[in-house]
Amino acid sequence: MLSREEILAVMSDWNLAWERYDLDEVMNLFHEDIVFDNWTGGQARGKSALREAWASWFANNGGFTFSHEDMFVDEAEQKVLYQWRLDWPSTEKGFEGRPESRRGVDIIHFKDGRIINKFTYAKTTVEIDGRRVRLKAGG
């Protein structure tokens, strides 16, 4: 089991790896049997599937920024609730390429010192060009 301090250190490494757009460093934090559910309902099972799913995000040195907003650590259960904000060029229909901010949370579970589950949830509204936009179902 990881101590609270060790969990915080992993999450600090997590933030730094994303800031550097370092996919290898990010992947090093995951258990081989990772299960990742993303905000669109997609799922990746296993480290190689997750690397493949994220490769395009990292291919062009990002173009996105994740900001840590808040975090709750449950040492006894080896879980983290991680609140974030994503700033990136929008992919929403009719807003493609315009500056977007999206907020969400990750529920992260640890096993053997690595992230074994990562469940991501995002708000159904985003900010594009400084105004709130409600996402359409399925989008």
* Least confident residue range of 27-31, 77-81, 95-99: 95-99
Residue 136: burial class (beta carbons within 10 Å; 0-12, 13-18, 19+): exposed
What percent of the chain has pLDDT above 70?
A: 96
Domains of the chain (ranges, CATH numbers): 4-134 (3.10.450.50)
Q: According to the model, what pLDDT value does residue 137 have?
A: 61
pTM equals: 0.90
pLDDT per position as a tens digit, 104-116 = 999 999 999 999 9
State CA 130 to chain mean position distance. Answer: 23
Q: According to the model, what pLDDT value does residue 139 have?
A: 46
User: Average pLDDT, stretch 82-106?
Assistant: 93
Tokens 């090093």 — which residue? 28
Confidence of residue 9 (pLDDT cuts 50, 70, 90): very high
**Residue 64: is its pLDDT beyond 60?**
yes
**Residue 134: is its pLDDT beyond 60?**
yes
**What is the radius of gyration, based on Cα positions, of the chain?**
15
Q: According to the model, what pLDDT value does residue 111 have?
A: 98
Q: Give the pairing of strands 79-89 and 114-122.
A: unpaired
